[in-house]
Amino acid sequence: MACKQETSHKKLMLIDVDCGTDDAQAIMMAIISPNVKILGITCVGGNTQLDNVCKNVLRILKLCDCLEEIPVFRGSPTAILGQNINATDFHGVDGLGDVPDANAPGLEYLQKEHAVDAMIRLVSENPGKISLVATGPLTNLALAVRMDPTFPKKLYSLYIMGGNMESRGNTSACGEFNFLADPEAAYIVLNDYLCTTYIATWEFSCRHKLSWEWYDEWVNMGTKKSDFIKKIYAHSLQYSRSEKEQKALVDGPGFVPCDSFAMAAAIDGDIVTKVIECAVTVELYGKYARGMMVLDLIDDLKKTHKAFVMNGCDMEKFKALLESTIR
């Protein structure tokens, strides 16, 4: 199906990614959604190095026949303090399972404008209308508010995949990858972005995992896109389907498409059936707790702005979105 970006009266969306396998799925979900118009995709170092992130996004856009319609911008290659981590052991060195495509588009397709400049420009041109979906480290978002303190006020809403709600980590004892990759950026965003904010945490994603039986049917539908998903996930599934990894998940085994939860919520708010409304922040210090998201349930932070931490999901609607993505 060709990319259809021309229709008016759609939800306007910016997507900020560190494009690994689950980011790829989330981008494909947004592209196929008839009520969404993607104004741009900004890239940040995270799951893999920044050049790979950019190449991966371009590769997905070509797969979805959107290479000419959706601009892609190169953002920050490192965390604010430059102390980078990556997830190449899980996503593959290139971020997409180390299954290269000789015909994939090159970096010449990137826009010349820096990602942070593009974010500020696009939101200023469409004040109060854009939903920003962030599925990687929050470095670009933190830089945007430092360059333009009015930036968050011009957003319609913000959807984040990252952090945790019960101090369960997937990269350190208490740290979820996206927040641990740049804790200072996550702290800035949760403090300075006062727009409507939804957060899909690690534990939320785990508790709404899909069965492996469903996954096997999903990736074996015989379409170009299902074949692509099956190919890029093959590397990570060596880990995620292993007995050790499945025991480490919250509430038992299954397929956990983390980034797709934040994207699905941005596309259809009815997918979120329950939230915890509270102030949130990020721990910046400590041997074990650096990068951990903190939910202030007793008003200790005295913050007036409360985030919506996702805590319930309409799984039938969520599965329908995932299934539509690979047709």
**Buried-state track 202-232, b at ≥16 Cβ within 10 A, e below 16:** bbbbbbbbbeeebbeebbeeeeebbebbbeb
How far, in Å, CA of 324 to CA of 327, rounded?
A: 6
Q: Where are the alpha helices (DSSP H) in 48-176?
A: 50-63, 88-91, 115-125, 139-147, 151-154
Q: Which residues contact 298 (CB under 8 A, 6 or more apart)?
A: none
Q: What is the pLDDT of residues 86-108, one digit of tens each?
A: 998 889 999 999 998 999 999 99
Residue 147 has pLDDT above 70, yes or no: yes
* Catalytic residue set: 18
Instruction: Find the range with the poorest average confidence among 121-135, 183-197, 239-253, 308-322.
Output: 239-253
Identify the pLDDT of residue 242.
Answer: 64
What pLDDT does residue 3 have? 60
Lowest mean pLDDT among 6-10, 57-61, 267-271, 286-290: 6-10
Q: What is the mean pLDDT of residues 97-121?
A: 96
Domain architecture of the chain: domains with CATH: 11-325 (3.90.245.10)
Does the pLDDT of residue 1 top 50, yes or no? no
pLDDT at residue 5 in the model: 55
Q: What is the pLDDT of residues 156-178, one digit of tens each?
A: 999 999 999 999 999 999 999 99
DSSP code of residue 297: S
Give the pLDDT confidence of 270-295 residue by residue, as tens digits: 999 999 999 999 999 988 999 999 99
Cβ–Cβ < 8 Å for 250, 204: no
User: For residue 84, what pLDDT is reported?
Assistant: 85
